[in-house]
Amino acid sequence: MSTVTDGSGNLVPLHAPAVTNAQGVATPAGPQNPLPVVNTVATAASDGSGALASGGNAQTLFGGAVPANGFLVQNNSAAALWVCDTGAASNGGASIQLAPNGGIFATPSGYKPAGPVSLYGGTTGQAFAARRW
């Protein structure tokens, strides 16, 4: 609990929001120590599931629309897939590998991707499930 001095010089409780640091000590919230933000947007998820149209080539998900508050992709195929939101997905670089048979990548709520989400796999027809919100 934080305290301040009142007009008479007495210590009194300060009822102010606080943020806890790594050692468990609460410090007053303010411009240099803001309260954590929790996304309360109740936007329904939009489906972007499908299968790779052309193995060996990146394809954009969600019709090229950038998800406003995050996304999820699950690999439903027997071979690895790669997902990327900073450019064209590939089997390396900035892409994130999704393990075969159920590997999942999900962003935290409130995450705004840098650009359209793309997916890469080596074989035409690789199935995936995708949601954006």
Q: What is the mean pLDDT of residues 106-113?
A: 89
Are the C-beta atoms of residues 35 and 19 closer than 8 Å to each other? yes
41 inside domain:
no
User: Residue 17: which pLDDT band, with cuts at 50, 70 and 90?
Assistant: low
Provide the 3-class DSSP secondary structure of residue 128: strand
Q: Which domain holds residue 17?
A: 1-36
pLDDT, averaged across the chain:
85
For the whole model, what pTM was predicted?
0.69
Whole-angstrom distance, CA of residue 133 vs CA of residue 131: 7
Contact 111, 68 (CB under 8 A): no
Q: Give yes or no: residues 28 and 50 share one domain.
A: no
Over residues 6-15, the pLDDT tens digits come to 777 777 776 6
Which token pair is 14? 């300060």
Count of domains observed in the chain = 2
Do 27 and 50 fall within a single domain?
A: no
Res 19 pLDDT > 70: no
